Structure 1
């Protein structure tokens, strides 16, 4: 991890100029800066003791992790020795957050992109949960999922994350963001990877519906209570973002992902899946969706080829003779109407 000169970082941000500000949260401010001909992000904590602790914790957690394409990269740190203020330098994510994409962007993301985001975020959480030691993020939400220049989603903000070595370790007080926070996580002893699974499930519901996770203008206000009731009643279409139509070939995929989301937010912690199981389910679901268009394409090619063959035969043979060979005219009916029998197509395909 690189140690940067504090004054150099201050100058790179124009003394933390508002024009360089790219993000603001409850714990700190994020500025963009050019360092060594590369755009980077600088996180500066707000002046509160808890926020400085969270920054130190984020440095500790991220510096313990190997590089991963689905988790934001820590590039280095800097410290002002005159007052012990610290900054962290991270990769710059120019395309903002998932929250902005869902709730502020003028054009909603297409369904294939949403599925891609599901899988990228799931893999990020899997990387954390299956590593040694396990990392529990504790603040998975759309605001903490950022996009790089290629619109790849990465999990960020590890201020509340916990390095979970063993169940016997002393855990910090329960923490998180209302709406995403697992309601079963009420005491330090309740800390587990299933808390992150709940939050991930809320994010899935948010991506599919584009509804705020807590909306007091609606009843129920909670996205979980609202969506789970509709899923149980098989009213899937009512959950999907109404601004963009759901393609027929993606309907089963989104339905399956909603079932995954419902299991993630189960009130019974034991019924929630592991993140590894979730990744497998989602990847298999996408593979099945890809297989269907391939089959349809093959089918259409075979049908077109069969029609060409029949048309050629009809040009070569006497139409009346062909009809006489068919007692009831079935062949002629199918050719003239453009219809083909399944066995006809598959029989010719088998000859090739």
Structure 2
């Protein structure tokens, strides 16, 4: 009996390793090498929602981490899952202090794929700018804003200097995350744009 990808997605009895055989990126060395057991990812707490997924606060190896998952209604779409895996592969290859640190990838089945990254406790730049506005903080240039702009410029310089140039394609304040000390790091390298 031949099983198609749609049959695999709808058949919970099919083991997760078997279900990945027909999907190129699932067998990719960079993906497999960074795989983390789902049992090691503990906790709850939605942090944010984006255009294609949700980010949750979790614990991994007793450290705070963020996990990103596709929206439930997208998790059974093989094309979207593969695009998400391509983002994971790209994130795993990046290493720069101004880019959110990749920790690993985890799945038990096609429908619960998630990527783990460092948790950025300062939130996103958009929320920070809104807080400053609400507090009637003076507009214009200050030391923190210059530092944030410099961090973003460093991340972009790194991405554009790679042997295969990476273009972010969605640079906006929501995709700049901050530490508690207001160090800025780029995130969201998804090609999942429609």
Partner of residue 107, structure 2: 79
Contact kept in structure 1, 2:40 and 2:61, CA below 8 Å = no
Indicate the residue corresponding to 1:90 in structure 2: 117
Please identify which structure carries the higher helix content.
Answer: 1
* Separation of aligned partners in 2, 1:51 and 1:100: 28
Of 154, 165, 188, the residue aligned with 1:134 is 165
5+ residue gaps in structure 2? 1-32
Aligned mates of 1:24, 1:68 — CA distance in 2? 25
Name the structure 1 match of 2:88. Answer: 59
> 1:267-282 to 2 correspondence within 5 Å?
none
Structure 1: runs of 5+ lacking an equivalent: 15-19, 162-174, 177-352
Please name the residue that 1:3 is paired with: 35
Aligned counterpart in structure 2 of residue 13 of structure 1, from 43, 48, 51: 43
Supply the distance in 1 between the matched residues of 2:121 and 2:84 (Cα, whole angstroms): 22
Alignment length (residue pairs): 154
Superposed displacement of residue 124, structure 1: 0.5
Measure the CA separation in 1 of the matches of 2:172 and 2:111.
30
Q: Which runs of 4+ in 1 moved over 4 A?
A: none
Shift of 1:7: 3.8
Question: What are the equivalent positions in structure 2 for 1:84-163 lying under 5 Å apart?
Answer: 84-105=111-132, 106-107=134-135, 108=137, 111-160=142-191
Which has a greater percent of strand?
Answer: 2
Higher relative contact order (CA 8 A, sep 6+): 2
**How many Å separate the matches in 1 of 2:142 and 2:82?**
39
Alpha-carbon distance between aligned partners in 1 of 2:80 and 2:43, rounded to the nearest angstrom? 20
**Structure 1 residues 172-207: Cα deviation after superposition (integer angstroms, max 9, x where no partner):** xxx58xxxxxxxxxxxxxxxxxxxxxxxxxxxxxxx
What TM-score do the two structures reach when normalised by structure 1? 0.41
Displacement of 1:84 in angstroms is 4.7
CA RMSD between the two structures: 2.1
With structure 2 as the length reference, what TM-score do the two structures score? 0.72
Asked if the contact 2:144/2:182 (under 8 Å) is kept, the reply is: no
Contact 1:70 1:123 survives alignment (8 Å): yes
Whether 1:29 aligns to 2:58 is: no
Distance (whole Å) between structure 2 residues aligned to residue 24 and residue 57 of structure 1: 20
- Does the 8 Å CA contact 1:28/1:51 hold for their aligned counterparts? no
| Alpha-carbon spacing, 1:38–1:100, altered in 2? closer, same or farther (3 Å) | same
